[in-house]
A and B are shown apart, each in its own frame.
Chain A
Amino acid sequence: MDSLFALAHGLTVAVQPMNLLFALIGVLLGTAVGVLPGIGPALTVALLLPITFKLDPGGSIIMFAGIYYGGMYGGSTTAILINTPGESASMATALEGNKMAKAGRGGPALATAAIGSFVAGTIATLGLAFLAPTLVELAVQFGPEDYFALMCVAFVTVSATFGDSPVRGLTSLFIGLALGLVGIDKLTGQARLTFGVPELLDGVEVTTLAVGLFAVGEALYVASRRHIQEEVVEPVRGSLWMTKEDWKRSWWPWIRGTLFGFPIGALPAGGAEIPTFLSYSTEKRLTKYPEEFGKGAIEGVAGPEAANNASAAGTLVPLLALGLPTSATAAMMLAGFQQYGLNPGPLLFAERPELVWGLIASLFIANAMLLILNLPLVGLWVKLLAIPQPWLYAGILVFATMGTIAAKPSVVELTMLGAFGLLGFLMRRFDYPIAPVVVGLILGPIAEAQLRRALSISLGDPMVLLQSPISATLLGIAVIALVLPFVLKGLNRFKMQED
C-alpha cells in the first residue's frame, strides 16, 4: 500500500504542467530518434546532457525516461517498415514485422506493436513501482563490499554472459574500465593516466565517450558500408486497425512478452535483445499458425515488442533502487542523475521521494502519450524516414560536436570525441559490443571506491568480501556468470569433435 500512496503523490508531481511538457518533449524526441536509424535513446540522452545541465533535475530526468520509452516505440516503426531496426531491441520485431509490411499488413503490425508496447509498458511500470521499494529495503542493508560485489555481477553479465563472444565483451568492458582510471584519484589526489595533459585531470567525460562511440562511430560505420545495401521504405498500406482475429492473436503474446521482458530487464543482464528473442522463439513454438512464421505472423511482432518495452521499465528497477545501470541508455540516465549531484539508490528514495515517484508516475503518462502519438500519427513519423541520409548524418554530427563543444570547448575534448568515434567504428566493424565500454567507464570508478571503502573499514582484510553473506553470494554468481559461457563453448566444441 505504501507504493500506491507514494505513486499517488508522484502523480501530483507528474501532472504539473512543466513536467507534462518535459514528458511530452521526451516522448516526441524518443519516438523520433527511435524511428531514425543511426541514433538511439542512449545517444540522445548523451547529446542532451550538456544542454540540460542548467534545467530542473526532476523535469530533465522525466524527459530522459520519456526518451527511453519513446525510443522503444519508435524503433518498432523502422523495424517493420524498412527492416533495419533502429534499435538492437527491435531486431526480433523486424523478422515478422517487415514480412507483414511487405504483405500489405503494415498497419496491423504497427498497431499491435504500439498497443503491445502500451500494455507491456503499463504492466511493467506497475511492476517497477512495487519492486523498486522492496529492492530499496534490501539495499539499505548493503555495505560497501556488497555494492562492490553487485557491480562485479553487473560487469560480468553485461559484457560476458549474453554476448556472442565473452572475450570480445570483456575486452570492451576493460577498455571502459581503463578509461575510468584516467584522472585524479579521489582518495589520494594522485593523477593516473593523464600524461601531463591538464584537461585529463577531471577524467574522461561520459558524454564525450558516449557521443563519440554512438554518433561518430555509427556515422563512420554506416558511411563506410553505404555501397553495400540500399534501404527500402515499405509504404503503410491498408487499414491501421487490427481485426478481431488480430486482437485475439496478439493478447497472449503481449502478456508473455511482458513476463519475459520485465524480469530480465530488472536483472543485471543487460539490454533488451535477450527477452525479445526469447519471446520470439516462444511465440513461434506456441502459435496455432506455424505456417505463417517467416511470412509475417502477428504473434512474432506482438510478443517481442511487448518484451522490449517491459525490459525498458525493468532496467529502471536496478537503476533507481541500486544506482546500477544495465543497458547503455540506463548508463546515460545515471550520468544524467550524476550531473545534478543525485545518486540513485536507497538514499534518493528517502531524500527526494518526490523526484523518484514523480518520475515513476510520469512513466504512465508517457506511455499513454506514446500510444496516441504512435497509432494515429504513425504516418508523420514515417515521413521522418524521408530525410536524405547525407543530411541526417551531417545533422547528427553537428549536434554531436555541438554538445561536446558546449560542455568543454577544448581541442583535447574534441580530439577525444574523434578518437572515440574511430574506436566506435572499429568496434562495430570487428563486432565488439559498445555498451560495456560505457558501463565500464561509469561503474568502474564507483566499484573501485566501494572496494577501497570496504577494505579500509576492514583495516585491509580482503576476507570482508567473503564474510558478508550478500557479497559472498553475489561474487559467487559473478564467477559462475563469467565461467559459464566458456564452459558451454568448450562443451560445444567437444560435441563437435565427437561428431
Chain B
Amino acid sequence: MTTRTPRRIDKAGLLIALVLLALAGLIWQDMSSLQLSSVYGLGPKAMPMVVSVGLAILGVGNAISALQGGLPERESLDWKPIVLIIGGLAILIACVKFNVGFIPATAVLFACTAAAFGRRAFITDLVIGFAAGLIIYLLFAKLLTLSLPMGPLERLIGA
C-alpha cells in the first residue's frame, strides 16, 4: 500500500489528549474528596473512578493517534465568525445578568450571528432581531406562559 508520509506530530491532537488527561485528573481529585457511605455494593466513588480511568486511557490513545498523524485533515479556519457568534452570546448573557431583558438580548445575538454569516447590514439585522424577539416574547411569555427574563421594555409590555 502507500508508504507512510513522514510522521507529522499533530499539535492540536496532543492538546486534546492533554485536556482529556487533565479532565481525568480533575474527576479523580473530586472523587477523592467524597466520603464513602455505602454499606453494601458500590458507593458514589465507583463511577467517577471508572470515568476518570477511562478518560486517562483515552487521553493516551488520543496522544498515540496524534503522534502517528491519525487525525483527519482539517480545512482552513476562519476565526472571525466564531468570535462574532461567541461575542453575541456573551452580550446575551450580560443582558440576562444585568436585567436588560430578553428582547434587546435577542436582537444583539441575531445581528451578531447574521454578521458572522456574512451579512453587512448590522443595523437592519438589529431591527429584524428586535422584531423577532418581540414576537417570540409575546408568543411564548403570554401564550405559553413561559418565564423569559424581564427588562424595562418587557415590563412595559407585560404591565
User: Considering only CB atoms, which chain A residue lies closest to B110 in the complex?
Assistant: A394
Tell me if B110 and A405 are in contact (CB < 8 A). Answer: no
User: Considering only CB atoms, which chain A residue lies closest to B12 in the complex?
Assistant: A430
Least Cβ distance of A486 to chain B in Å?
A: 10
* A375 touches B (CB below 8 Å): no
Tell me if B118 and A430 are in contact (CB < 8 A). Answer: no
Tell me if A54 and B111 are in contact (CB < 8 A). Answer: no
Distance, CA A225 to CA B74, complexed state (A) = 11
Residues of B within 8 A of A185 (CB): 34, 44
Residues of B within 8 A of A5 (CB): none
Tell me if B149 and A405 are in contact (CB < 8 A). Answer: yes
30 A–B contact pairs at CB < 8 A? A54-B145, A168-B62, A171-B20, A174-B54, A187-B38, A190-B34, A192-B30, A192-B31, A193-B27, A216-B89, A223-B84, A224-B77, A225-B77, A228-B75, A389-B118, A390-B113, A391-B125, A397-B89, A398-B129, A402-B102, A402-B140, A402-B148, A405-B102, A405-B148, A409-B147, A409-B149, A429-B74, A451-B42, A452-B46, A456-B38
* B146 touches A (CB below 8 Å): yes
Tell me if B106 and A224 are in contact (CB < 8 A). Answer: no
User: Considering only CB atoms, which chain A residue lies closest to B107 in the complex?
Assistant: A398
What is A's interface to B at a CB cutoff of 8 Å? 50-51, 54, 165, 167-168, 170-171, 174-175, 177-178, 181, 185, 187-188, 190, 192-193, 195, 216, 219-220, 222-228, 388-391, 393-395, 397-399, 401-402, 405-406, 409-411, 414-415, 417-418, 421-422, 425, 429-431, 444, 448, 451-452, 454-456, 458-460, 496, 499
Known: A224-B78, A398-B106, A429-B77. A192 touches B114 (CB 8 A): no
Tell me if B47 and A411 are in contact (CB < 8 A). Answer: no
Tell me if A455 and B42 are in contact (CB < 8 A). Answer: yes
Distance, CA A393 to CA B92, complexed state (A) = 16
* Chain B, 48-92, CB within 8 A of any chain A CB: 48, 51, 54-55, 58, 61-62, 65, 70-72, 74-79, 81-82, 84-86, 88-90, 92
Which of A178, A223, A393, A410 makes the CB contact (< 8 A) with B27? Answer: A178
Tell me if A228 and B81 are in contact (CB < 8 A). Answer: no
Which of A398, A409, A430 makes the CB contact (< 8 A) with B72? Answer: A430
Least Cβ distance of B36 to chain A in Å?
A: 9
Residues of A within 8 A of B105 (CB): 401
Number of residues in B with C-beta < 8 Å to the partner? 76
Residues of A within 8 A of B44 (CB): 185, 187-188, 190, 192
In the A-B complex, list the 10 residue pairs whose CB atoms are closest, starting with the nearest: A455-B41, A223-B81, A390-B117, A456-B41, A390-B114, A394-B113, A185-B44, A390-B119, A167-B61, A406-B146
Least Cβ distance of B12 to chain A in Å?
A: 7
* A-B contacts, CB under 8 A, total: 213
Assuming A51-B140, A188-B44, A414-B89, what are 5 further A-B pairs, CB within 8 angstroms? A54-B145, A167-B65, A185-B44, A397-B88, A430-B72
User: Considering only CB atoms, which chain B residue lies closest to A453 in the complex?
Assistant: B41
Which of A50, A190, A219, A389 makes the CB contact (< 8 A) with B85? Answer: A219
Tell me if A167 and B62 are in contact (CB < 8 A). Answer: yes
Least Cβ distance of B78 to chain A in Å?
A: 5
Which of B58, B92, B116 makes the CB contact (< 8 A) with A401? Answer: B92
Which of A223, A405, A410 makes the CB contact (< 8 A) with B116? Answer: A223
Least Cβ distance of A398 to chain B in Å?
A: 5
Residues of B within 8 A of A410 (CB): 96
Distance, CA A410 to CA B93, complexed state (A) = 9
Residues of A within 8 A of B147 (CB): 406, 409
Known: A167-B58, A167-B62, A459-B40. A181 touches B85 (CB 8 A): no
Tell me if A411 and B16 are in contact (CB < 8 A). Answer: no
User: Considering only CB atoms, which chain A residue lies closest to B93 in the complex?
Assistant: A414
Pick the most buried of B30, B74, B79, B147: most chain A CB atoms within 10 A of its CB. Answer: B30
